[in-house]
Structure 1
């Protein structure tokens, strides 16, 4: 799964040549409007798949992709268009694949939270940097576990905002990690 900036024939060719299955939103879909029109004209369906579209590099066919059309969740957008080199994409699979794509932002948001636990360092030694990152991941997981247990205790839904913020968790951990004296 990659951002729409990776929608380019050379990138798609490279991914496919390494046998990687990709799912990428189409950067611009003016050329794909015919597929959108077919979906819009259909009396029942609001998603569609245009299978086996040939993609090429330098005038030669590189591989085939499937265009997937579904209603856009963005303001002002009519349809979102994704492409994948995955074989046999059925219309009933489109929403699930595209929902999985949209959930990738959760990972990026979680990584931003992990950064809060990273210490400031000047070392360029990869071992020190790796240790600090792994330790930050451990502290992050301790925070998530503590927040989860607090939510269970007070009967708050798990998906709600944290009861214990990352900043509060860092302050509490600092009390135990930094000796007073």
Structure 2
């Protein structure tokens, strides 16, 4: 039932009604009954533990059967995924700039592999307005490094914080992100005015040393990146190609929002958390199925999904029917 509701991006009550219409001979719960049982979750830790255990099953299957995620290092991206919230403000909503009709959001720190065909969501941590983002990053990196080997970590400008630089360096991972134009960075732009690219090693940001790279894009606009690995000035243009991998996490979010996320207006945070993590589990399973089909049929992992998200939901439901009979 919940797979149907999620695949239709519907609410519990309407999704339950359409499910019964499509399957008149099958017993199915009402939307109210579903929400009643979901509301029995008392601890957020229990919901997060369910997600971790299901994710570990998916990752272990990929590792043991296809040696995926096992031997090679992977590029990952961190992002803050924001779900618009339109109800009365509560303790779990985070205020942010006006976007999509609201200034209130339910936010999650997420980490995903950003390589085509392998875009698993590796970790999800709920964000509370009082939480320190660097602390959450530290906790997440500890978990992620137990699951995969990290090659690069990509972040957006929202992670331009000295504490986060320290966390990334303490975990000995290579990171790359655009840099906000603060006064010291603007001075570096002036110094690089007549250069196609310029590298400032050991550039201090709030007392923390990073490498600042000023580089022209093909459209003639200069951009600034910060990283903690060596970059040769004559090869600095390659940073655009390297950082472009980060857009893989945006592609994953589009699939998550358009194909796997049930909708709700409830103020019960645990239900909202369960819904989002359920969507992530469905998404990861969809990625794994496409890997299995690609390797079985074509002998390699295809860059584009062979099985669409909508078809996957139908197949998953058919497997459930076959299993129950």
- Normalised by the length of structure 2, the TM-score is 0.38
Tell me the equivalent position of 1:148: 291
- Number of corresponding residues: 154
Structure 1 residue matching 2:284: 3-state secondary structure: helix
Tell me the equivalent position of 2:124: none
Tell me the equivalent position of 1:24: 178
For residues 26-59 of structure 1, the C-alpha deviation after alignment (integer angstroms, 9 at most, x for no partner) is 66x98625415234xxxxxxx430345567xxxx
Tell me the equivalent position of 1:78: 220
Structure 2 residue matching 1:38: 3-state secondary structure: coil
Distance (whole Å) between structure 2 residues aligned to residue 83 and residue 152 of structure 1: 37
When residues 79 and 156 of structure 1 are mapped into structure 2, their CA distance, relative to the original with a 3 A threshold, is farther
Question: Is the 2:199–2:232 contact (alpha carbons within 8 Å) kept by the matching residues of 1?
Answer: yes
Match of 1:35 among 188, 192, 202: 192
Tell me the equivalent position of 2:301: 158
More strand, by proportion: 2
Distance (whole Å) between structure 2 residues aligned to residue 177 and residue 124 of structure 1: 31
Are 2:247 and 1:105 aligned? yes
When residues 167 and 87 of structure 1 are mapped into structure 2, their CA distance, relative to the original with a 3 A threshold, is closer
Flag structure 2 segments of 5+ consecutive residues without an equivalent: 1-154, 167-175
My pick for the range that moved more, 64-73 or 89-98, is: 89-98
Distance (whole Å) between structure 1 residues aligned to residue 249 and residue 277 of structure 2: 16
Question: Is the 1:117–1:139 contact (alpha carbons within 8 Å) kept by the matching residues of 2?
Answer: yes
Question: Is the 1:26–1:81 contact (alpha carbons within 8 Å) kept by the matching residues of 2?
Answer: no
Distance (whole Å) between structure 2 residues aligned to residue 156 and residue 80 of structure 1: 42
Match of 2:212 among 67, 85, 88: 67
Match of 2:276 among 116, 133, 136: 133
- Normalised by the length of structure 1, the TM-score is 0.62
When residues 72 and 65 of structure 1 are mapped into structure 2, their CA distance, relative to the original with a 3 A threshold, is same
Distance (whole Å) between structure 2 residues aligned to residue 126 and residue 164 of structure 1: 32
For residues 81-115 of structure 1, the C-alpha deviation after alignment (integer angstroms, 9 at most, x for no partner) is 2232x567442785676555322211121122122
When residues 91 and 152 of structure 1 are mapped into structure 2, their CA distance, relative to the original with a 3 A threshold, is same
Tell me the equivalent position of 1:120: 263
When residues 49 and 166 of structure 1 are mapped into structure 2, their CA distance, relative to the original with a 3 A threshold, is same
Flag structure 1 segments of 5+ consecutive residues without an equivalent: 40-46, 56-61
Structure 2 residue matching 1:105: 3-state secondary structure: helix
